[in-house]
Amino acid sequence: MRSRQRMFAAVMRLLLKCLRLGRRRRFKLVRQVEQLWHYGHLCLRSLLYNSFTNGDVVLDSLFEPVYWLVDHVTRWFGVVFVALVIGLTSSVVAIVYICLLPLILQTYTPAWICWHLAYGHWNLIMIVFHYYMAITTSPGHPPQAKNDLTGVSICRKCIAPKPARTHHCSICNRCVLKMDHHCPWLNNCVGHYNHRYFFSFCLFMTMGCIYCSISGWDMFRDAYAAIERMKLLEKERLQVAANQTYYQTPPPTFSFRQRAFHKSVVYLWVLCSSVALALGALTLWHAALITRGETSIERHINRKERQRLQKKGKVFRNPYSYGSWDNWKVFLGVDVPRHWLTRVLLPSPHLPHGTGLSWDLPPCVMEQRAPLLAI
C-alpha cells in the first residue's frame, strides 16, 4: 500500500515538473518572439525614419504609381490632344463661316455686321497666334554646366543646377524654368517663356466661346425647336407610311441641308458653352495665381511654408510678388502705357522680363520692396 502511494506521489511530482518546464519553455518562446518583433519594428523605423515625413508625403508615395501612369499617358497622347483642339476649333470656325456668316450678312444692320466681323476676326487671330506660340515656344531650361550658375540647388533627377522657381517635369524629363505645369492640350510645359502665351490663349478662347454662346443663343433656340419639329414630323411620316391610303399623303420632310444647318448650330452652341464654363474656370484660377505672383506649383509650396511660419508666429511673404497691379505688368511685359495696346491687345512675340535664372527687380516695378522671406 505504501509502495503504491510512493509511486503515485513520484508520478505526480514528475508531472508537475513537466508542466513547470513546459510553461517556462512557452514563456521563453513568447519572450523571444516579442524581442524579435520589437527588433524588426525598430529596424524598420530606423530605415524609414524621416523628420519631414507627414501625411502629404505618405499620400504622394501611395499615389506614385498613378502619377507614373498619368505621366506616360500624357506623354504619348499629347499629339492627340493638340489635334483635338485644332479639330474642334476648326469645326467651330467652319460652321460660323458656312452657316452663320451668310445669315448675319442678310439680317443684321451694317453697324452690327461691322462689329461682328471686326471682333470675331480679332478674337480668332489672337487665339491662333497665342496657341501656336504656346506650342512652339520652349518654356526654358537651365544650363547643364555647373559653372554658369552660383548659389543654386541641384536637381535630384537631372543632377544639374536648379535655379529658383525651377522644377523638374517628369513628362518632359527635364527641368523647366518657372514651371507652372505640363499642359497636355499644348503637348508642352508651361514655363518662363511661354506662360503668357498659355494664359492669353485661355483668355481669348474663353472670350470667343462666350461671344459665340451669347450671339448664337436665339439661333440655338430656333435650331433646337426645328430639330424637335423634325423628330415629330418624322414620327408622323412613319405612322402615315404604315397606314397609308389613297387619300393620305406623307407630311413634308426637311432637306439634308436644313438638317445639317440646325444640327451644326446646336453643336456650335453646346460646344462653345461647355468650353466657356470649363476653360473660364481655369482662366480665373490662373488669373488669381498671377495676381499673387505665384505659379501652380508655388501655390502648394507657399501654402505649406505659410502654415509652417504661422506655427512659429511669423508671417510669410512671397518674394516674387510685387503687388497685384505690378504682378500683371511683369507677367504681360508692360513697361510703358502703349504696351497695353501693342503687347496685350495685339499679337506680340516679346520676351518676358529676366532670363528665368535670377529674379531681379523688373524695370516696370517702380517701388522697391522690403526684403522678403525666400521660399
Q: Which residues are catalytic?
A: 183
C-alpha distances in Å from residue 223, one per residue of 104, 345, 363: 15, 34, 54
CB 198 within 8 A of CB 186: yes
Helix axes 217-242, 195-215, angle to 10 degrees: 60
Torsion of CA 87, 89, 93, 98, to 10 degrees: 40
- Backbone φ and ψ for 156, nearest 5 degrees, come out as -70, -20
- Do the Cβ atoms of 167 and 175 come closer than 8 Å? yes
For residue 354, which of 323, 325, 320 has the smallest C-alpha distance?
Answer: 320
With 0-12 / 13-18 / 19 or more C-beta atoms within 10 angstroms meaning exposed / middle / buried, residue 46 is: exposed
DSSP state of 259: H
Radius of gyration for the chain, computed over Cα atoms and rounded to the nearest angstrom: 35
Cell of 371: 526684403
CA distances from residue 280 to 190, 206, 216, 238, 285 in whole angstroms, order as listed? 18, 6, 18, 44, 9
Burial of 25 (0-12, 13-18, 19+ CB in 10 A): exposed
Please say whether the beta carbons of 180 and 296 come within 8 A.
yes
The C-alpha atoms of residue 272 and residue 32 are separated, in whole angstroms, by 71
Instruction: Please answer whether residues 67 and 170 qualify as being in contact, where contact means their C-beta atoms are separated by less than 8 angstroms.
Output: yes
Cell readout for 133 is 506660340
Q: Are 216 and 268 in contact (CB under 8 A)?
A: yes
Quote the CA–CA distance of 270 and 221 in Å, as a whole number: 11
The whole-angstrom separation of Cα 248 and Cα 78 is 58
